[in-house]
Chains A and B, each alone.
Chain A
Amino acid sequence: MNYLLPERLDRLAREYALGTMTGRPKRRFEKLLRDSPQASRAVAAWQERFSVLAAGVPAMQPREQVWNGLEQRLFAPTKPAASRGPLQWLWDLLSVRTLGSALAGIFLCVIVLRSQPGLVGLETPSEALPASYVGLLLDANGKPTVLANSRRHGRQMTVKVLQPVAVPEGKVAQLWAFPAGASAFPVAVLPRLPAVKESVSFTLPDESEKLFSNVGRLAVSIDDAPARPGEAPPPAFALSGHCVKLW
């Protein structure tokens, strides 16, 4: 049967768009839709016609929890203790190996991404690594101490503690960013850091992409008070390390 005869196609398209087509005819038509732009156009035309029937449907304000749930499902940072998230391989790597230096980790990221370009776009969204900024911060002895990551278009940053970080009572751990060719700027005060191997998340003042797109280095200083916008960074930092783009 030639489904693409105009009258027949129009009849099928409207039944499909209306939702009255079911079962095997529907599956057959969906196969046709995948292969035939003509069929897709016919369905789209009917969907456009049907959209006028929605004009008289009274609006109904969704409860705020719907949006909150969406944000949680789409943008919430991975909680490594609860489940194996997309960055779990990185957490595991840092937990089971004694990394000699930050460069080793960063080299690994580069190698993985170069040898498996599919990780950054060829898989379906649910399987691909989310585009993220990742910073591995070392202490004064070059020991990996804090791993920070934030989704590229997210506003949440998650910090995993790899080694104890001493923040005396009354002091704050201030995160700084060092963009290429520009002055360093204070990003945020880190929340109270949890125990080793635990993570904590906090909200960034802006989207990661806007904050870190040109940032090559992150650092943490231990200060008496949060830095003010435009304030120059201190001469020394408790932690410092590279910030890399994971995409």
Chain B
Amino acid sequence: MSQVALRDRSAFERLYRATSAHLLGVAFRILGNRDRAEEVLQEAFMNVWNSAGGYNPGVATPMTWLINIVRNKAIDAVRSGKTERSSTVALDDEGMDVADADGLQPQELLDESLVKVNIDRCMSELNASQRQALALAYYRGMVHTDIAAALNAPLGTAKAWVRRGLDKLKSCLEAAGVTA
């Protein structure tokens, strides 16, 4: 990252090659469309090149910093209605391929992630609604009103589910020694 901050193009390409597949996955979960996710990925790396000097290794790991840029851009794209077009046209063949090959739902993504960081047992103390609310917020970039509508619950209840999920996530990570 420090080399990228010094405008080293080859370091920038290495960073892109090493991280872009994972970051595209993050953007795709939120946008649900490969073309738009790739646009967001490209915009995010424009930001990375232009603001790598502002990256502070004492505050975040490089991957956390990158995920944050990509996720924020994807959420902005969703909320600014940029994906409206994609939601009103038929999926092309490639879109269908992607959906078929990897149709994981937010809840499944959450489960996969929790297993990988070994906090799945601790997080299992959450009920299904709490887990689902947390998953929709993180993997779909939904706000509380969206979550309430998606889960057919009152707004206050949806907020409480998310809050409970976050409390539990924090305590499980701390118990597992994953400090932030």
Contacts and interface: CB of A to CB of B under 8 A. Distances in A.
Interface of A: 14, 17-20, 22, 40-41, 44-63, 65-67, 69-70, 73-75, 125, 131, 152-155, 207
B104 interface: yes
Which of A14, A41, A55 counts the most B-chain CB atoms under 10 A from its CB? A55
Nearest to A14: B166
B60 A44 contact: yes
A217 B125 CA distance: 71
Given A41-B59, A59-B25, A60-B24, A54 B104 contact: no
B8 interface: yes
Given A19-B71, A57-B113, A62-B20, 11 more contacts: A40-B59, A48-B180, A49-B170, A52-B117, A53-B109, A55-B112, A56-B111, A60-B98, A65-B38, A66-B41, A70-B46
A51 B7 contact: no
B84 interface: no
B137 A48 contact: no
Interface residues of B, number: 61
Given A19-B75, A47-B68, A70-B42, A152 B20 contact: no
Nearest to A57: B25
B128 to A, nearest CB: 17
A17 B162 CA distance: 13
A154 B180 CA distance: 38
A18 B137 contact: yes
A56 B112 contact: yes
A48 to B, nearest CB: 4
Contacts of B114: 56
B137 A56 contact: no
B180 A56 contact: no
B45 A70 contact: yes
A49 B104 CA distance: 22
A51 to B, nearest CB: 4
Closest 7 CB pairs of A and B: A56-B112, A56-B113, A48-B180, A59-B21, A45-B180, A51-B64, A55-B116
